Structure 1
Amino acid sequence: MTDSLRVVDVAEDQLDSVWQVRTRSFGPGGDRDEWRKTALEFLDDGRYLGVVDGDELVAAARIWPFEQWWHGRRVQLGGVAGVVVAPEYRGRGVASLLMRAVLQRCVDKGYPLTALYPATTVLYRHLGYEFAGHRYKFSFQAADLRTLGGKGTAIRKAGPGDAELFLQLASKAHEGQRSSGPLIWPLKQVQGWLEDEDNFAYVADDGFVVYNWSDGALAVDELIAGSEETARALWATVGSGASIARTVHAYCAPSDPIHLMVEHEADTDTRINRWMLRMIDAPAAIAARGFPEVTVEVDLQLVDQELAGNTGGWHLSVAGGAGQLTPAEPSVDALRLGSRGLAALYAGTPLASLRAAGLAAGGTPEGDDALDTAFGGPTPYVLDYF
């Protein structure tokens, strides 16, 4: 790495350079005009960072302003996307320089958490990220879905004016289900999806579905239902295309009720993408997250090589469905975690797994049981790629 490399906020006149680096990094593809339109939204409030060598832009990354559900409560999250480095600058510390700036910008923006889909785990683990959950793509027989019923449920075609309603319905469902992982997108983005003529959207009193055509099959991006009848009606609406499309791909949780409704199980070639999580502000992340109705009192000793504010002795208290992390002198039996172990624990990875991987030490068996209960539950999942 040379002294001429420095981090900058990407400017509008640098977007052509970002696109060129993106093409060299990911290959050709996508609509350049649409990409630029979206990219512009990240510039004004400092959510697009780059690395320049002199005047040449050689790397870039952007940050989505998401919220994410954690046990039925919303937590602000910086979604890191479009991390690109020019091929001739790889292996020179440029990506680390860029990502450290991204972490600091997430601090500045007040995001307790950050998440990403890794092209490589080496870089991100070195910076404190760890696997937290999955994105599942299941494939069902359209004819199975068509026969699910729900004919007594009224549904209508949805449009951009329903974006706020969609967000409200999704929030009600995820809060009630104590969901962990699904993202809350900005309203403008949801409106854009509902404006897209390639998407088909329908809404009922307590649910909605968004789907589209995908290589001769149908693909469900999201289906939210507050009742069995609504779920049946919306899935049957998608399945009504069975005379044209034999298969329906669906992004949904592995515990989604659809798995219990259809006559035939999902195809065995289920696709899974893994995503990674990192704590930016440990006390804020704990305070924002939901917890089951358990009581936990555990001492922690945290070490964060990148964000010093997380490092030190802490006391974790969980009660009444809420958690609190307060500074404390570490006790002899404090559980010792680095940033990777802390992220994995937050996402529900059992302490036995963390210990076996060398990501946790110290503590007590009783403390492990209490933490597994507090943070455990179904594997967190995400419906969207970003």
Structure 2
Amino acid sequence: MTDALRLVDITEDHLDAVLRVRARSFGPLPASSREQWTKDAVEFLTDGRYVGVADGDEVVAAARIWDFQQWWGGRQVPMAGIAGVVVSPEYRGRGVGSMLMRGVMQRSIERGCPLTALYPATTVIYRKLGYEFGGGRYRFSFQAADLRSLGGRGVSIRRAGPADAGRFLELVAEAHEGARASGVLGWPEAKVAEWLADDEDIFAYLADDGFVVYNWDGNNLRVDELIAHSEETARALWATVGSGSSTARTVHAYVSPNDPVHLLAQLEADKEMQVQHWMLRLLDAPAAVAARGFAPGVAVEAELQLDDAEVPGHAGRWQLSVADGAGKLTPSSGTGDVLRLGARGLAGLYAGTPLASLRASGLATGGSVRDDGALDTAFGGPAAYMLDFF
């Protein structure tokens, strides 16, 4: 590294340089996609969500910050989604990537995000900065003809449009609150309306208590999201997708590993299931705990010792209190042996990773193993998953 390296806010004048770095990181951007890429980039840089590293006047690394809401335990928590992380080849292995990510994390803290998540191109750098696996994005494949036979003919379904965005979000909230979902992203109504306006590439159908969004994926179909609050609606929506079986043999579906479709479909999903792991990090542990939902009916009092080189405010001893589905993390003056977690271990616990796994990997130490079950229950629930890639 040189003394000239510094963090910068990406501006429109930097975008040509960022594109050059991107081409060296992910391959050239097709000419047909450049206009949309530039349009998207401007949305991020206008409010300080595009951070870079410059050597003198030249941008050599950059990353975008998404403002997300992420469901945890059935409640939404503000989360900074980090995307488009690129570093010019001649600057790799010289600490530029870490410098960039520290700038991104600080900007995320300034924006009031207690969590940050990303899909890693490599886990090494992110683990050094305190990220750990939080969950997966799962794609299952079903035979279209099998889905077509699921029935639900008595359910009224209509084509959805931009005006239905609010209803879509209501159905999503009801589903995720009831299931105490974790990991799923929440989108603003304006963005959902924008997607629903694209009725050439996106097929969206709405019932009284559910909806489906799907499209073509080559010669097959792909379900991006399906919410149903009753068996009959679930059958009807899956059968609607499966009605394309005369031209599409397979339906790829982004769903939870616990989605009811696994119980409704007569035939097992293709064994070639795909999973993309995403990583999580806590930036403000007390705020992240306060915003998250916890298992109802569980009461836990536990002492934690946190170690975090990147967020000094985390370091120290804390009292975790969980009751009535809510949690609180407050500084503690206690003494004696205590459960110790670094940033990676804390991320894993928050995401519901069993403490036995965290202990076996060295990410949790100390304290009494006999107390682990209560913490596992408090943070546990359905597997954390995402439907979206960013």
Deviation at 1:385, TM superposition (A): 0.4
Runs of 4+ in 1 over 3 A off after TM superposition: none
Residue number in structure 2 paired with 1:147: 149
Deviation at 1:378, TM superposition (A): 2.4
Distance (Å, rounded) in 1 between the aligned partners of 2:307 and 2:107? 20
Residue number in structure 2 paired with 1:228: 231
Distance (Å, rounded) in 1 between the aligned partners of 2:243 and 2:153? 12
Deviation at 1:356, TM superposition (A): 0.9
Deviation at 1:32, TM superposition (A): 1.4
Distance (Å, rounded) in 1 between the aligned partners of 2:349 and 2:334? 19
Residue number in structure 2 paired with 1:364: 368
Alignment map for 1:153-232 (pairs within 5 Å):
153-196=155-198, 197-232=200-235
The partner residue of 2:106 within 93, 104, 107 is 104
SS at match of 1:172: helix
The answer as to 2:327 corresponding to 1:323 is yes
Deviation at 1:29, TM superposition (A): 4.2
- State which drifts further: 29-38 or 140-149: 29-38
Distance (Å, rounded) in 1 between the aligned partners of 2:305 and 2:282? 15
Counterpart of 2:127 in structure 1: which amino acid? R
Counterpart of 1:231 in structure 2: which amino acid? A
Question: What is the total number of aligned residue pairs between the two structures?
Answer: 386
Counterpart of 1:376 in structure 2: which amino acid? G
1:148 and 1:236 in contact (8 A); partners too = yes
Structure 2: gaps spanning 5 or more residues: none
SS at match of 2:385: coil
- State which drifts further: 325-334 or 208-217: 325-334
The answer as to 2:18 corresponding to 1:18 is yes
Deviation at 1:8, TM superposition (A): 0.6
Alignment map for 1:99-138 (pairs within 5 Å):
99-138=101-140
CA 28–192 in structure 1, closer or farther in 2 if over 3 Å, else same: farther
Which TM-score applies when normalising by structure 1?
0.98
SS at match of 1:42: helix
- Tell me the alpha carbon deviations over residues 56-79 of structure 1, each in whole angstroms, 9 at most, x when there is no partner: 111100110101111101111000
Which TM-score applies when normalising by structure 2?
0.97
Deviation at 1:330, TM superposition (A): 3.8
The partner residue of 2:265 within 256, 262, 266 is 262
- Tell me the alpha carbon deviations over residues 297-355 of structure 1, each in whole angstroms, 9 at most, x when there is no partner: 00000011001111111000000000000000243131110000000000111111111
Distance (Å, rounded) in 2 between the aligned partners of 1:153 and 1:36? 43
1:77 and 1:112 in contact (8 A); partners too = yes
Counterpart of 1:59 in structure 2: which amino acid? A
Counterpart of 2:349 in structure 1: which amino acid? L
RMSD: 1.0
Alignment map for 1:246-285 (pairs within 5 Å):
246-285=249-288
Structure 1: gaps spanning 5 or more residues: none
The partner residue of 1:77 within 72, 79, 89 is 79
1:299 and 1:333 in contact (8 A); partners too = no
- Percentage of matched positions with identical amino acids: 67
SS at match of 2:178: helix
- Tell me the alpha carbon deviations over residues 129-176 of structure 1, each in whole angstroms, 9 at most, x when there is no partner: 000111100000000111111111111111122222212211111111
Counterpart of 1:18 in structure 2: which amino acid? V
Deviation at 1:13, TM superposition (A): 1.7
Residue number in structure 2 paired with 1:4: 4
Counterpart of 2:359 in structure 1: which amino acid? R
Deviation at 1:188, TM superposition (A): 3.0
1:7 and 1:101 in contact (8 A); partners too = yes
Distance (Å, rounded) in 2 between the aligned partners of 1:43 and 1:15? 10
Distance (Å, rounded) in 2 between the aligned partners of 1:11 and 1:340? 33
Distance (Å, rounded) in 2 between the aligned partners of 1:218 and 1:329? 57
